[in-house]
A and B are shown apart, each in its own frame.
Chain A
Amino acid sequence: DAGVTQSPTHLIKTRGQQVTLRCSPKSGHDTVSWYQQALGQGPQFIFQYYEEEERQRGNFPDRFSGHQFPNYSSELNVNALLLGDSALYLCASSLVAEETQYFGPGTRLLVL
């Protein structure tokens, strides 16, 4: 049973560029959440997708957007990258009726 997978594992971008990160949820899960984890900090909630709709959103600017596909996989897009966007981006999947979230290995983004 495959767990949550994310791609790519690492990414280097320059300021002002745009980036797309991808996530495939654990088999059978229908909900995907994205988190940003800056160095030395706990994960911060970006947003959550269910039934291809953004269900909840944390305190992140509109530069952060996402999408969920019919197969429940998801993308996180970040426009106009800033140095401060450098972080580990974690995807987590769950069932909408349950609270337990399972995390992928993350994508480490470095913005130069």
Chain B
Amino acid sequence: AQSVTQLGSHVSVSEGALVLLRCNYSSSVPPYLFWYVQYPNQGLQLLLKYTSAATLVKGINGFEAEFKKSETSFHLTKPSAHMSDAAEYFCAVSYFNDMRFGAGTRLTVKP
């Protein structure tokens, strides 16, 4: 069975600082991996996805993630945080449309 673990339920950074949100996956087959963002009282918006084409994936709003098979990780980064990045972030793994989500990481951005 596939699963993801997000390390850190809450991350706080200063505006302009590096954002690093951690995700480790467990999958018996090559995974499809995703990061979604959820703003308050809204649905999930796709940030980026890994589908085995390239290990470094660039997404929207300046985010990127690197797939590391040896570490079974798919961490999300952004070089410089903006106040508008404050939201809940979810890592997800999917195989044959069976998508499993992590518990989420709440990102707070301090001015």
Known A100-B34, A101-B94; judge A45-B100 contact (CB<8 A): yes
Partner of A101, one of B41, B97, B102: B97
A44→B49 CA distance, assembly (Å) = 19
Within 8 A of B (CB), among A40-56: 40-45, 48, 55-56
B43 touches A99 (CB 8 A): no
Q: Mark B20-38, 1 if CB is under 8 A from A, else 0.
A: 0000000000001010100
Q: Which listed residue (A42, A45, A48, A92) contacts B103, Cβ 8 A? A: A42
Question: Which residues in B have their C-beta under 8 angstroms from that of A43?
Answer: 44, 90, 101
A99-B90 in contact given A42-B102, A42-B104, A90-B43 (Cβ < 8 Å): no
Which residue of chain B lies nearest to A50 when distances are taken between CB atoms in the complex?
A: B97
Residue count of chain B within 8 Å CB distance of chain A: 23
Alpha-carbon distance between A57 and B44 when the two chains are bound, in angstroms: 21
What's the tally of chain A residues with a CB closer than 8 Å to chain B? 26
Task: Verify if B80 is at the interface (C-beta below 8 Å from A).
Answer: no
Which of chain B's residues have a CB closer than 8 A to the CB of A31?
97
Provide the residues of chain A in CB contact with B43, threshold 8 Å. 4, 6, 90, 103-106
Q: Is B55 an interface residue (CB 8 A)?
A: no
Tell whether B45 is near chain A: CB-to-CB under 8 Å: yes
Identify 13 residue pairs between A and B in the complex whose beta-carbon atoms are under 8 Å apart, listed by A's number.
A41-B104, A42-B101, A42-B103, A48-B98, A56-B98, A90-B43, A99-B49, A99-B94, A99-B99, A100-B32, A100-B34, A103-B43, A105-B42
